Amino acid sequence: MRRWLCFIVVFLSMPVASSQSVELLHWWTSSGEEAAFSVVTDVFEGLPETLESEPIVGGGGAPAKAILQAKAIAGTPPDIAQMEGPSIKSWAALGFLHELDEPSEYYHWDSTIYTEIQSIHKYKGAYVAIPINIHRLNWMWTNNEVLASNNIPLPTDWDSLVSALKALKKSGIQPLAMGDEPWQIVQMFENIAYGVGGADYYRRAFVNLDPTALNSTETLESLRRFREIANIVGSHLPKLTWNQATDALLEGEYAFQLTGDWALGEMIHQHGGLPEFIECTPFPSTDKGYIYNIDSLAFFKTSGNKTMDVSAVATALSSPDFLLEFSRKKGSIPALNNVSVDGLNRCQQQSFKDFNQARKAGRAIPSFIDSMAVNPTIQNAVSKELHRYFLDSSISSSVFISHLNAINIERVR
Ligand code: BGC
Protein backbone atom coordinates (compact mmCIF):
# COMPACT_ATOMS: atom_id res chain seq x y z
CA MET A 1 0.00 0.00 0.00
CA ARG A 2 2.81 2.38 1.01
CA ARG A 3 4.71 1.59 -2.20
CA TRP A 4 1.63 2.41 -4.24
CA LEU A 5 1.22 5.71 -2.43
CA CYS A 6 4.85 6.60 -3.13
CA PHE A 7 4.34 5.71 -6.79
CA ILE A 8 1.27 7.93 -7.06
CA VAL A 9 3.07 10.87 -5.38
CA VAL A 10 6.08 10.51 -7.73
CA PHE A 11 3.80 10.22 -10.77
CA LEU A 12 1.83 13.34 -9.87
CA SER A 13 4.97 15.40 -9.36
CA MET A 14 6.44 14.38 -12.75
CA PRO A 15 6.58 17.25 -15.30
CA VAL A 16 3.67 16.92 -17.73
CA ALA A 17 4.75 16.81 -21.36
CA SER A 18 2.65 19.84 -22.38
CA SER A 19 3.16 21.86 -25.51
CA GLN A 20 4.11 25.50 -25.29
CA SER A 21 1.01 27.70 -25.38
CA VAL A 22 1.08 30.78 -27.59
CA GLU A 23 -1.22 33.68 -26.75
CA LEU A 24 -2.52 35.63 -29.75
CA LEU A 25 -4.35 38.89 -29.05
CA HIS A 26 -6.70 40.12 -31.80
CA TRP A 27 -10.05 41.74 -32.50
CA TRP A 28 -11.54 39.23 -34.92
CA THR A 29 -14.73 38.51 -33.00
CA SER A 30 -17.67 38.61 -35.45
CA SER A 31 -18.82 35.26 -36.82
CA GLY A 32 -17.15 35.93 -40.18
CA GLU A 33 -13.94 36.96 -38.45
CA GLU A 34 -14.06 33.87 -36.23
CA ALA A 35 -14.36 31.77 -39.38
CA ALA A 36 -11.24 33.46 -40.76
CA PHE A 37 -9.47 32.96 -37.44
CA SER A 38 -10.13 29.22 -37.71
CA VAL A 39 -7.54 29.27 -40.52
CA VAL A 40 -4.98 30.50 -37.98
CA THR A 41 -6.08 27.72 -35.62
CA ASP A 42 -5.54 25.20 -38.43
CA VAL A 43 -1.95 26.38 -38.89
CA PHE A 44 -1.25 25.61 -35.23
CA GLU A 45 -2.55 22.06 -35.74
CA GLY A 46 0.69 21.44 -37.61
CA LEU A 47 2.94 23.07 -35.00
CA PRO A 48 4.13 21.83 -31.62
CA GLU A 49 2.81 25.03 -29.97
CA THR A 50 -0.79 25.29 -28.75
CA LEU A 51 -2.72 28.39 -29.77
CA GLU A 52 -4.44 30.37 -27.04
CA SER A 53 -6.72 32.88 -28.74
CA GLU A 54 -7.34 36.14 -26.90
CA PRO A 55 -10.17 37.91 -28.77
CA ILE A 56 -11.11 41.44 -27.71
CA VAL A 57 -14.46 42.72 -28.95
CA GLY A 58 -14.56 46.10 -30.74
CA GLY A 59 -14.65 46.93 -34.44
CA GLY A 60 -11.49 48.64 -35.67
CA GLY A 61 -9.60 47.30 -32.66
CA ALA A 62 -9.52 50.31 -30.30
CA PRO A 63 -10.22 48.20 -27.15
CA ALA A 64 -7.77 45.50 -28.29
CA LYS A 65 -5.04 48.09 -28.80
CA ALA A 66 -5.66 49.56 -25.33
CA ILE A 67 -5.46 46.10 -23.74
CA LEU A 68 -2.29 45.32 -25.65
CA GLN A 69 -0.69 48.47 -24.25
CA ALA A 70 -1.83 47.68 -20.71
CA LYS A 71 -0.47 44.15 -20.93
CA ALA A 72 2.85 45.31 -22.34
CA ILE A 73 3.25 47.94 -19.61
CA ALA A 74 2.48 45.30 -17.00
CA GLY A 75 5.27 43.17 -18.48
CA THR A 76 2.89 40.50 -19.74
CA PRO A 77 2.45 41.12 -23.47
CA PRO A 78 0.90 38.36 -25.56
CA ASP A 79 3.25 36.27 -27.70
CA ILE A 80 1.60 37.48 -30.89
CA ALA A 81 -0.67 40.48 -31.53
CA GLN A 82 -2.77 41.78 -34.39
CA MET A 83 -1.52 45.23 -35.38
CA GLU A 84 -1.98 47.92 -37.98
CA GLY A 85 0.19 50.55 -39.62
CA PRO A 86 2.65 52.93 -37.98
CA SER A 87 2.15 51.42 -34.51
CA ILE A 88 4.26 48.45 -35.66
CA LYS A 89 7.35 50.68 -35.87
CA SER A 90 6.53 52.24 -32.50
CA TRP A 91 6.35 48.86 -30.78
CA ALA A 92 9.61 47.82 -32.49
CA ALA A 93 11.35 51.07 -31.49
CA LEU A 94 10.47 50.33 -27.85
CA GLY A 95 12.24 47.00 -28.22
CA PHE A 96 9.15 44.80 -27.90
CA LEU A 97 9.21 42.93 -31.20
CA HIS A 98 11.12 40.01 -32.64
CA GLU A 99 12.75 40.43 -36.03
CA LEU A 100 11.33 38.01 -38.58
CA ASP A 101 14.37 37.27 -40.74
CA GLU A 102 13.53 33.66 -41.48
CA PRO A 103 10.07 34.10 -43.05
CA SER A 104 11.17 37.30 -44.80
CA GLU A 105 14.04 35.50 -46.50
CA TYR A 106 12.17 32.27 -47.11
CA TYR A 107 9.24 34.04 -48.78
CA HIS A 108 11.38 36.81 -50.40
CA TRP A 109 9.38 39.60 -48.79
CA ASP A 110 11.48 42.34 -50.38
CA SER A 111 10.04 41.35 -53.72
CA THR A 112 6.74 39.67 -52.78
CA ILE A 113 5.23 42.17 -50.33
CA TYR A 114 3.67 45.07 -52.24
CA THR A 115 6.21 47.91 -52.14
CA GLU A 116 3.73 50.41 -50.61
CA ILE A 117 3.32 48.27 -47.52
CA GLN A 118 6.87 47.04 -46.97
CA SER A 119 8.24 49.92 -44.94
CA ILE A 120 5.48 49.91 -42.27
CA HIS A 121 6.49 46.31 -41.50
CA LYS A 122 10.17 47.14 -41.08
CA TYR A 123 12.24 48.67 -38.34
CA LYS A 124 15.91 49.51 -38.91
CA GLY A 125 15.94 47.45 -42.06
CA ALA A 126 14.45 44.25 -40.55
CA TYR A 127 10.87 42.99 -40.88
CA VAL A 128 9.10 43.01 -37.51
CA ALA A 129 5.56 41.95 -38.49
CA ILE A 130 3.83 39.72 -41.02
CA PRO A 131 1.42 41.50 -43.38
CA ILE A 132 -1.51 39.10 -43.57
CA ASN A 133 -4.02 40.75 -45.85
CA ILE A 134 -5.21 43.93 -47.51
CA HIS A 135 -8.66 45.31 -46.72
CA ARG A 136 -10.31 47.96 -48.86
CA LEU A 137 -12.24 50.67 -47.06
CA ASN A 138 -13.78 52.65 -49.92
CA TRP A 139 -16.56 50.23 -50.72
CA MET A 140 -20.28 50.75 -51.06
CA TRP A 141 -22.27 47.56 -50.30
CA THR A 142 -25.74 47.55 -51.76
CA ASN A 143 -28.67 45.21 -51.30
CA ASN A 144 -29.95 45.21 -54.88
CA GLU A 145 -33.29 43.67 -53.94
CA VAL A 146 -34.07 46.62 -51.68
CA LEU A 147 -33.16 49.06 -54.46
CA ALA A 148 -35.11 47.12 -57.08
CA SER A 149 -38.26 46.88 -55.00
CA ASN A 150 -38.17 50.66 -54.61
CA ASN A 151 -37.33 51.33 -58.27
CA ILE A 152 -34.06 53.01 -57.39
CA PRO A 153 -31.05 52.60 -59.70
CA LEU A 154 -27.61 51.78 -58.32
CA PRO A 155 -25.93 55.12 -57.48
CA THR A 156 -22.87 55.95 -59.51
CA ASP A 157 -21.87 59.29 -58.02
CA TRP A 158 -22.39 61.41 -54.93
CA ASP A 159 -25.58 63.09 -56.12
CA SER A 160 -27.27 59.85 -57.11
CA LEU A 161 -26.25 58.29 -53.79
CA VAL A 162 -27.82 61.17 -51.87
CA SER A 163 -31.00 60.98 -54.02
CA ALA A 164 -31.24 57.23 -53.38
CA LEU A 165 -30.83 57.68 -49.61
CA LYS A 166 -33.48 60.41 -49.56
CA ALA A 167 -35.93 58.43 -51.72
CA LEU A 168 -35.57 55.35 -49.52
CA LYS A 169 -36.11 57.37 -46.38
CA LYS A 170 -39.24 58.91 -47.90
CA SER A 171 -40.62 55.42 -48.56
CA GLY A 172 -39.99 54.43 -44.94
CA ILE A 173 -36.94 52.27 -45.74
CA GLN A 174 -33.85 52.65 -43.61
CA PRO A 175 -31.20 53.73 -46.11
CA LEU A 176 -27.88 53.18 -44.37
CA ALA A 177 -26.79 50.26 -42.19
CA MET A 178 -24.65 52.09 -39.67
CA GLY A 179 -24.48 51.94 -35.88
CA ASP A 180 -23.59 54.70 -33.46
CA GLU A 181 -19.95 53.61 -32.93
CA PRO A 182 -17.57 56.45 -33.82
CA TRP A 183 -15.39 54.09 -35.89
CA GLN A 184 -18.30 53.24 -38.18
CA ILE A 185 -19.31 56.86 -38.64
CA VAL A 186 -15.94 58.40 -39.31
CA GLN A 187 -15.00 55.78 -41.91
CA MET A 188 -17.60 57.42 -44.08
CA PHE A 189 -15.84 60.77 -43.82
CA GLU A 190 -12.63 59.25 -45.12
CA ASN A 191 -14.46 57.93 -48.17
CA ILE A 192 -16.21 61.23 -48.73
CA ALA A 193 -12.95 63.21 -48.46
CA TYR A 194 -11.25 60.91 -50.94
CA GLY A 195 -14.29 61.17 -53.20
CA VAL A 196 -14.16 64.97 -53.15
CA GLY A 197 -10.45 65.68 -53.44
CA GLY A 198 -8.92 62.52 -54.86
CA ALA A 199 -5.65 60.89 -53.92
CA ASP A 200 -3.48 63.97 -53.96
CA TYR A 201 -5.71 65.97 -51.61
CA TYR A 202 -6.30 62.95 -49.37
CA ARG A 203 -2.60 62.25 -49.04
CA ARG A 204 -1.73 65.88 -48.30
CA ALA A 205 -4.57 66.35 -45.82
CA PHE A 206 -4.78 63.02 -44.01
CA VAL A 207 -1.40 61.35 -44.44
CA ASN A 208 0.90 64.41 -44.29
CA LEU A 209 -1.54 66.60 -42.31
CA ASP A 210 -0.54 69.54 -44.51
CA PRO A 211 -2.26 72.68 -43.09
CA THR A 212 -3.00 74.09 -46.56
CA ALA A 213 -4.87 70.93 -47.53
CA LEU A 214 -6.67 70.73 -44.19
CA ASN A 215 -7.84 74.35 -44.59
CA SER A 216 -8.93 73.93 -48.21
CA THR A 217 -12.26 74.13 -50.06
CA GLU A 218 -12.04 70.33 -50.45
CA THR A 219 -12.25 69.93 -46.67
CA LEU A 220 -15.22 72.31 -46.55
CA GLU A 221 -17.00 70.36 -49.29
CA SER A 222 -16.22 67.04 -47.55
CA LEU A 223 -17.72 68.38 -44.33
CA ARG A 224 -20.78 69.62 -46.21
CA ARG A 225 -21.36 66.14 -47.63
CA PHE A 226 -20.71 64.48 -44.26
CA ARG A 227 -23.37 66.73 -42.72
CA GLU A 228 -25.71 65.98 -45.62
CA ILE A 229 -25.61 62.29 -44.66
CA ALA A 230 -25.99 63.16 -40.97
CA ASN A 231 -29.16 65.09 -41.83
CA ILE A 232 -30.56 62.09 -43.68
CA VAL A 233 -29.81 59.39 -41.11
CA GLY A 234 -30.31 61.59 -38.03
CA SER A 235 -28.21 61.81 -34.90
CA HIS A 236 -29.93 58.92 -33.08
CA LEU A 237 -28.23 56.02 -34.76
CA PRO A 238 -29.11 52.48 -33.71
CA LYS A 239 -26.88 50.46 -31.41
CA LEU A 240 -25.51 48.22 -34.13
CA THR A 241 -22.02 46.81 -34.34
CA TRP A 242 -20.61 46.83 -37.87
CA ASN A 243 -21.35 43.11 -38.30
CA GLN A 244 -24.91 43.44 -36.98
CA ALA A 245 -25.26 46.19 -39.59
CA THR A 246 -23.98 43.79 -42.26
CA ASP A 247 -26.39 41.09 -41.12
CA ALA A 248 -29.25 43.61 -41.30
CA LEU A 249 -28.17 44.60 -44.83
CA LEU A 250 -28.28 40.92 -45.83
CA GLU A 251 -31.76 40.63 -44.34
CA GLY A 252 -32.95 43.54 -46.48
CA GLU A 253 -33.54 45.82 -43.50
CA TYR A 254 -31.24 48.42 -45.05
CA ALA A 255 -30.19 49.32 -48.58
CA PHE A 256 -26.52 50.31 -48.18
CA GLN A 257 -23.53 49.81 -45.93
CA LEU A 258 -20.42 51.95 -46.31
CA THR A 259 -17.54 50.08 -44.75
CA GLY A 260 -14.50 47.96 -45.46
CA ASP A 261 -14.56 44.45 -46.85
CA TRP A 262 -14.56 42.80 -43.42
CA ALA A 263 -18.30 43.11 -44.20
CA LEU A 264 -17.68 40.77 -47.13
CA GLY A 265 -16.17 38.19 -44.75
CA GLU A 266 -19.33 38.42 -42.69
CA MET A 267 -21.52 37.94 -45.78
CA ILE A 268 -19.47 34.98 -46.97
CA HIS A 269 -19.89 33.33 -43.59
CA GLN A 270 -23.57 34.12 -43.02
CA HIS A 271 -24.65 33.28 -46.55
CA GLY A 272 -22.21 30.49 -47.39
CA GLY A 273 -20.69 32.69 -50.12
CA LEU A 274 -21.15 36.11 -51.64
CA PRO A 275 -24.92 36.58 -52.21
CA GLU A 276 -26.06 37.37 -55.77
CA PHE A 277 -28.17 40.26 -54.53
CA ILE A 278 -25.23 42.09 -52.99
CA GLU A 279 -23.41 44.60 -55.17
CA CYS A 280 -19.95 45.84 -54.29
CA THR A 281 -19.00 49.12 -55.94
CA PRO A 282 -16.28 51.57 -55.01
CA PHE A 283 -17.59 54.46 -52.91
CA PRO A 284 -18.50 57.30 -55.34
CA SER A 285 -15.43 59.33 -56.11
CA THR A 286 -14.18 61.70 -58.78
CA ASP A 287 -10.81 59.97 -58.70
CA LYS A 288 -10.67 56.16 -58.99
CA GLY A 289 -8.64 54.88 -56.11
CA TYR A 290 -8.19 52.49 -53.24
CA ILE A 291 -8.10 53.17 -49.49
CA TYR A 292 -6.47 50.26 -47.71
CA ASN A 293 -5.54 48.90 -44.35
CA ILE A 294 -3.48 45.84 -43.55
CA ASP A 295 -3.89 43.28 -40.79
CA SER A 296 -0.45 42.37 -39.50
CA LEU A 297 0.84 39.99 -36.84
CA ALA A 298 3.78 40.95 -34.64
CA PHE A 299 5.70 38.69 -32.25
CA PHE A 300 6.47 40.02 -28.79
CA LYS A 301 9.58 39.24 -26.81
CA THR A 302 7.97 37.70 -23.76
CA SER A 303 9.76 37.15 -20.49
CA GLY A 304 9.75 33.94 -18.49
CA ASN A 305 10.61 30.51 -19.69
CA LYS A 306 8.70 30.51 -22.96
CA THR A 307 10.33 28.61 -25.73
CA MET A 308 8.10 29.31 -28.72
CA ASP A 309 10.00 28.82 -31.95
CA VAL A 310 9.27 32.31 -33.28
CA SER A 311 10.81 31.69 -36.70
CA ALA A 312 8.88 28.47 -37.26
CA VAL A 313 5.54 29.92 -36.13
CA ALA A 314 6.07 33.12 -38.14
CA THR A 315 7.07 31.16 -41.23
CA ALA A 316 3.95 28.99 -40.95
CA LEU A 317 1.79 32.12 -40.61
CA SER A 318 3.38 33.64 -43.72
CA SER A 319 2.84 30.83 -46.17
CA PRO A 320 0.99 31.81 -49.37
CA ASP A 321 -1.53 28.98 -48.76
CA PHE A 322 -2.38 30.32 -45.33
CA LEU A 323 -2.64 33.90 -46.60
CA LEU A 324 -4.98 32.87 -49.40
CA GLU A 325 -7.25 30.77 -47.15
CA PHE A 326 -7.39 33.52 -44.53
CA SER A 327 -8.40 36.13 -47.11
CA ARG A 328 -10.91 33.76 -48.71
CA LYS A 329 -12.86 33.85 -45.44
CA LYS A 330 -11.97 37.38 -44.36
CA GLY A 331 -13.19 39.12 -47.52
CA SER A 332 -9.76 40.70 -48.10
CA ILE A 333 -6.95 39.98 -50.56
CA PRO A 334 -3.55 38.48 -49.64
CA ALA A 335 -0.74 40.92 -48.84
CA LEU A 336 1.77 39.13 -51.10
CA ASN A 337 1.85 39.93 -54.81
CA ASN A 338 2.58 36.33 -55.85
CA VAL A 339 -0.64 34.78 -54.53
CA SER A 340 -3.25 34.18 -57.22
CA VAL A 341 -6.74 35.46 -56.41
CA ASP A 342 -8.42 33.49 -59.21
CA GLY A 343 -10.41 31.35 -56.77
CA LEU A 344 -11.70 34.31 -54.74
CA ASN A 345 -15.13 35.89 -55.23
CA ARG A 346 -16.05 38.70 -57.65
CA CYS A 347 -15.65 41.49 -55.06
CA GLN A 348 -12.23 40.22 -54.01
CA GLN A 349 -11.17 39.98 -57.65
CA GLN A 350 -12.31 43.53 -58.22
CA SER A 351 -10.47 44.60 -55.09
CA PHE A 352 -7.29 42.98 -56.42
CA LYS A 353 -7.67 44.60 -59.84
CA ASP A 354 -8.48 48.04 -58.40
CA PHE A 355 -5.63 47.83 -55.89
CA ASN A 356 -3.12 47.11 -58.61
CA GLN A 357 -4.50 49.81 -60.91
CA ALA A 358 -4.52 52.32 -58.06
CA ARG A 359 -0.93 51.44 -57.15
CA LYS A 360 0.21 52.09 -60.71
CA ALA A 361 -1.57 55.44 -60.75
CA GLY A 362 -0.27 56.43 -57.28
CA ARG A 363 -3.80 56.26 -55.90
CA ALA A 364 -3.52 53.47 -53.33
CA ILE A 365 -3.80 55.34 -50.06
CA PRO A 366 -3.47 54.14 -46.44
CA SER A 367 -6.56 54.57 -44.29
CA PHE A 368 -6.38 57.42 -41.82
CA ILE A 369 -9.33 56.19 -39.78
CA ASP A 370 -8.16 52.60 -39.61
CA SER A 371 -4.74 53.36 -38.17
CA MET A 372 -2.66 53.09 -41.32
CA ALA A 373 -1.63 56.67 -42.02
CA VAL A 374 -0.80 58.52 -38.81
CA ASN A 375 -0.01 57.69 -35.20
CA PRO A 376 -2.91 56.60 -32.97
CA THR A 377 -2.95 59.84 -30.93
CA ILE A 378 -3.65 62.00 -33.97
CA GLN A 379 -6.04 59.43 -35.40
CA ASN A 380 -8.07 59.32 -32.18
CA ALA A 381 -8.14 63.08 -31.79
CA VAL A 382 -9.35 63.67 -35.37
CA SER A 383 -11.86 60.79 -35.15
CA LYS A 384 -13.38 62.30 -32.00
CA GLU A 385 -13.78 65.67 -33.72
CA LEU A 386 -15.40 64.07 -36.76
CA HIS A 387 -17.77 62.02 -34.63
CA ARG A 388 -18.81 65.12 -32.69
CA TYR A 389 -19.29 67.09 -35.91
CA PHE A 390 -21.53 64.35 -37.34
CA LEU A 391 -23.76 64.16 -34.28
CA ASP A 392 -23.97 67.85 -33.44
CA SER A 393 -25.25 70.04 -36.24
CA SER A 394 -24.48 73.19 -34.25
CA ILE A 395 -20.74 72.68 -34.86
CA SER A 396 -19.79 74.73 -37.92
CA SER A 397 -17.19 73.65 -40.44
CA SER A 398 -14.94 76.57 -39.45
CA VAL A 399 -15.00 75.49 -35.80
CA PHE A 400 -14.25 71.93 -36.86
CA ILE A 401 -11.31 73.07 -38.98
CA SER A 402 -9.97 75.22 -36.14
CA HIS A 403 -9.97 72.08 -33.95
CA LEU A 404 -8.09 70.17 -36.65
CA ASN A 405 -5.51 72.94 -36.79
CA ALA A 406 -5.10 72.81 -33.02
CA ILE A 407 -4.51 69.04 -33.16
CA ASN A 408 -1.97 69.60 -35.89
CA ILE A 409 -0.09 72.27 -33.91
CA GLU A 410 0.11 69.84 -30.97
CA ARG A 411 1.50 67.24 -33.34
CA VAL A 412 4.43 69.32 -34.57
CA ARG A 413 5.30 70.72 -31.11
C1 BGC B 1 -9.36 45.18 -39.26
C2 BGC B 1 -10.19 44.05 -39.77
C3 BGC B 1 -11.41 43.86 -38.90
C4 BGC B 1 -12.16 45.17 -38.78
C5 BGC B 1 -13.41 45.06 -37.96
C6 BGC B 1 -10.19 46.42 -39.00
O7 BGC B 1 -9.42 47.35 -38.30
O8 BGC B 1 -8.37 45.50 -40.18
O9 BGC B 1 -9.45 42.86 -39.82
O10 BGC B 1 -12.22 42.87 -39.46
O11 BGC B 1 -11.31 46.11 -38.18
O12 BGC B 1 -13.14 44.80 -36.64
pTM exceeds 0.85: yes
Residue 374 near residue 209 (C-beta atoms within 8 A): yes
The DSSP symbol for 300 reads B
Q: Tell which atom from ligand 1 comes closest to the C-alpha of 332.
A: 9
The finding on whether 135 has its CB within 6 A of some atom of ligand 1 is: yes
Element (H, E) at 50: strand 50-55
Cα 318 to averaged position of ligand 1 atoms, centre (Å)? 19
Give the integer Cα–Cα distance in Å for 52 and 163: 49
The finding on whether 370 has its CB within 6 A of some atom of ligand 1 is: yes
Residue nearest atom 9 of ligand 1, based on CA coordinates: 295
Residue 329 near residue 39 (C-beta atoms within 8 A): yes
Centre a 10 Å sphere on the Cβ of residue 68 and count the other Cβ atoms it contains.
Answer: 26
3-state secondary structure of 131: strand
Cα 108 to averaged position of ligand 1 atoms, centre (Å)? 26
Q: Tell which atom from ligand 1 comes closest to the C-alpha of 27.
A: 12
Q: pLDDT averaged over the chain?
A: 93
pLDDT tens over the chain, length 413 residues: 455 444 444 444 444 445 789 999 999 999 999 999 999 999 999 999 999 999 999 999 999 999 999 999 999 999 999 999 999 999 999 999 999 999 999 999 999 999 999 999 999 999 999 999 999 999 999 999 999 999 999 999 999 999 999 999 999 999 999 999 999 999 999 999 999 999 999 999 988 889 999 999 999 999 999 999 999 998 889 999 999 999 999 999 999 999 999 999 999 999 999 999 999 999 999 889 999 999 999 999 987 667 789 999 999 999 999 999 999 999 999 999 999 999 999 999 999 999 999 999 999 999 988 888 888 888 889 999 999 999 999 999 999 999 988 887 776 66
Give the integer Cα–Cα distance in Å for 270 and 249: 12
Residue 123 near residue 292 (C-beta atoms within 8 A): no
Task: Output phi, psi for 390, to 5 deg.
Answer: -65, -40
Over residues 107-166, the pLDDT tens digits come to 999 999 999 999 999 999 999 999 999 999 999 999 999 999 999 999 999 999 999 999
Question: Which is nearest to 290 in space by CA: 369, 197, 373, 354?
Answer: 354
Residue nearest atom 2 of ligand 1, based on CA coordinates: 262
- Ligand 1 pocket test: which of 40, 56, 68, 135 has the largest number of ligand atoms within 8 Å of its C-beta? 135
Residue 206 near residue 199 (C-beta atoms within 8 A): no
The finding on whether 61 has its CB within 6 A of some atom of ligand 1 is: yes
- DSSP β-ladder status, 174-176 and 278-282: unpaired
Span between the terminal Cα atoms of the chain, in Å? 77
Over residues 195-227, the pLDDT tens digits come to 999 999 999 998 888 999 999 999 999 999 999
The finding on whether 292 has its CB within 6 A of some atom of ligand 1 is: no
